[in-house]
Amino acid sequence: GAVVSQHPSWVICKSGTSVKIECRSLDFQATTMFWYRQFPKQSLMLMATSNEGSKATYEQGVEKDKFLINHASLTLSTLTVTSAHPEDSSFYICSAHSLELTMGTQYFGPGTRLLVL
């Protein structure tokens, strides 16, 4: 149980294009989903918290107009990197949280590796 999928697993795009990443909880309903960015050899940095049916809460320093988050259902959240630039290249990981599962533990997706040329 508690499986989270993420798609695509990797993407290469040209500078200026937009990229959409999907995060799905496959066997449970996620009341909250989190989006992280991880640079090589660094820790996970929280970008935003997304609750189903409401606007995402962004961490300080994260541009909400650049990283669009939509949490349309209890099993799906999407992150769109708009007008991507090489500095946006990173490993993006989502996690899903449910109060019904082991007291709110977060379960991570497999991550999406983004390379912007």
Partner 1 sequence: GENVEQHPSTLSVQEGDSAVIKCTYSDSASNYFPWYKQELGKRPQLIIDIRSNVGEKKDQRIAVTLNKTAKHFSLHITETQPEDSAVYFCAVRREGYQKVTFGTGTKLQVIP
- The smaller minimum CB distance to partner 1, of residues 23 and 116, is found at 23
DSSP states of 42-68 = S--EEEEEEETTSPPEEPTT--TTTEE
Q: Determine contact, residues 15/88, Cβ cutoff 8 Å.
A: no
- The smaller minimum CB distance to partner 1, of residues 17 and 42, is found at 42
- The smaller minimum CB distance to partner 1, of residues 82 and 106, is found at 106
Tokens, residue 46: 């929280």
Q: Which helix (H) or strand (E) holds 3?
A: none
- The smaller minimum CB distance to partner 1, of residues 4 and 84, is found at 4
* Under rule CB under 8 A, residue 67 binds partner 1: no
With CB under 8 A as the contact rule, the residue among 11, 78, 107, 116 that binds partner 1 is: 107
d(CA 42, CA 53): 32
* Under rule CB under 8 A, residue 105 binds partner 1: yes
Positions touching partner 1 (CB under 8 A) are: 32, 34, 42-44, 46, 49, 93, 97, 103-111, 113
